[in-house]
Chain A
Amino acid sequence: MAVPKVCGIETEYGVTLRGAAESNPVLASSMLINAYVEHRKVGWDFDDESPGRDARGFAREGSAPPEVETHLVNTVLTNGARYYVDHAHPEYSTPECADALELVRADKAGERVLARSMQAARRLLEPGQDILVHKNNSDGKGNSYGTHENYLVDRALPFAGLVRYMLPWFVTRQVFTGAGKISSENGAEPVDYQISSRADFFEEEVGLETTLKRPIVNTRDEPHADPQKYRRLHVIAGDANLCEVATFLKVGTTAIVLAMVEDDFIDKDLGIVGPVSAMRTVSHDPTCRATVELVEGGRATAIEVQWEFLRLANKYADETGLEHCGGEDVGTDVLRHWEAALTALERDPMTLDGRLDWVTKLALLDAYRARDGLAWSDPKLALLDLQYHDVRPGSSLYERLVAAGKIERLVTEESVIEAMTEPPGSTRAYFRGTCLARWPEAVVAANWDSLILDVGTEPLRRIPMMDPLKGTRAYVEPLFAECSTPAELVARLAS
């Protein structure tokens, strides 16, 4: 049965130390985080980390589970987010959110945290040096780094059932989740411009890896919650979005599809033959007219497969409701945006300029090509492609487009700034963030599903938070109001 779609996004940002003899990305990432977290850093507790656990119940021979790098900078923020160095990139994991709109805000707040980090890191740099950060997924030279989504899923659902529908889902949702990219990488067919910056990097249908031979469906089984009740679907087949509408659609639609799979609502085989090559076929065609072969027979465009998913989603909304998909209001809004996007993609994708990243960037590149007569191979276009994702407010081309009123926003900037420090009220992130804000000295370490408090007397107290939907504002705000010390809080929780 569908469980509430608690969700989050982790982004590995591109990082460059400019003006140094050698760009050391690990050092640059550490500097960013240290500069941002000026107060005492709260460590991350690694006890429950097990990224090598496979959702299928086994590990394939020769597969390499990622190492947990415990020696690198790793911290928790008062908004409930985790901010750390991962694989030579600064990574920002949003707090757990209860709906797509809240996650749009939390993800945008992450961009602002990185921008402020860059500003703060300047005082640590030598003259002539600069740290640049990009919210993108590839350097255009075959190196990719991820933007992952996470969704809470019912443990009772067999993993194979999930894979069956998630494969066609991830292949076809690219038409609105893509962040766009000039050219191709990783041995893919040459192309001028493609929809997704990540599609070229998927080489397997299902698997545990995340850094090589990337699978479309990742099987990492690390729920960060009660493993008897929950799974966490770790989605690695997505792009880093700047457009709020794109993030909203990416998360909101995926949440609804997952709920439909959990409720066994999809009565049709939507499978695609050869999903790995289909991933590229869809991404490589910005007209959105390329077709892929269906398991049921015949061919369809990604948009046609999406219409099927939407038809089912509308039916699901009528019959079951969207309470588990971020609530009725957000869920209904997702359906509305979804339909509008598919309609526009079918008629003319370029009308989604300002709403989807791949279209917005393509419109900018087209404008330059028209004005300056540039060939697709011109370095100026490659620079525009890169600088669209620059996180510095003054240099980000995306932010220039926002300032020019060309981008549709879904959340206010005030609420984004607030989300840099305030946790969402709808999940356990509220408990984590509030403890940290109120008693920074007492929080020794934190993890997604626990907090370790020093209450002044031995031993250290570990507070488990195995349910992402407990520890919300509604649950614990009265408790916080009654406790003036962490010792009181621990005593109250124990009683």
Chain B
Amino acid sequence: MPEREQKKKAAPKERVEEDVEVAAPAKQGEKLKEELDDLLDEIDSVLEDNAEEFVRNYVQKGGQ
């Protein structure tokens, strides 16, 4: 990425900004992961108790 290197050399101020930009998505990613973890925990709490038994007993009559 020669273009980016050049940018870094020429404008150190911009590089700082770049760092901030990189840090923001990381933080956002963390937040998203936390949200996802919370969601999975919530789903855990409504899942049928015995997965194996529930899935085994789920039998339907064929339809159209």
On A, residues with C-beta under 8 Å from B are 12, 14-16, 23, 25, 66, 86-89, 138-141, 143-146, 148, 210-212, 236, 364, 367-368, 371, 379-380, 382-384, 386-387, 394-395, 397, 400-401, 404, 406
Contact = CB atoms under 8 A, between A and B. Distances in A.
Interface of B: 35-37, 39-40, 42-43, 46-48, 51-52, 54-64
15 contacts: A16-B58, A88-B60, A89-B60, A89-B63, A145-B62, A148-B64, A210-B64, A379-B51, A380-B47, A387-B46, A394-B46, A400-B39, A400-B42, A404-B35, A406-B39
Contacts, number: 93
Nearest to B52: A379
A380 B47 CA distance: 9
B23 to A, nearest CB: 24
Nearest to A25: B61
A397 B39 CA distance: 10
A25 B64 contact: no
Contacts of A14: 58, 60
A386 B61 CA distance: 16
Contacts of B55: 140, 379, 382-383, 386
B36 A384 contact: no
A236 B63 CA distance: 11
A140 B62 CA distance: 11
Nearest to A396: B46
Given A86-B64, A384-B43, A387-B46, 7 more contacts: A16-B57, A16-B60, A88-B61, A138-B60, A145-B63, A383-B51, A400-B39
B37 to A, nearest CB: 7
Contact of B64 (A141, A211, A394, A404): A211
A66 B64 CA distance: 9
Contacts of A211: 62-64
Contacts of B47: 380, 383-384, 387
A139 B61 CA distance: 9
Contacts of A210: 64
Please give me the 5 A-B residue pairs with the lowest Cβ-Cβ distance, nearest first: A145-B63, A88-B61, A146-B64, A210-B64, A383-B51
Contact of A382 (B35, B51, B59): B51
Contacts of B51: 379-380, 382-383
B47 to A, nearest CB: 6
Contacts of A141: 58-59
A144 B61 CA distance: 8
Nearest to B42: A400
A321 to B, nearest CB: 35
A399 to B, nearest CB: 10
A395 B43 CA distance: 9
A415 to B, nearest CB: 26
A237 to B, nearest CB: 12
A406 B39 CA distance: 10
A87 B63 contact: yes
A88 B63 contact: yes
Contacts of A146: 63-64
Contacts of B40: 367-368, 371
A397 to B, nearest CB: 6
B63 A386 contact: no
Nearest to B39: A404
A397 B51 CA distance: 14
Nearest to A403: B42
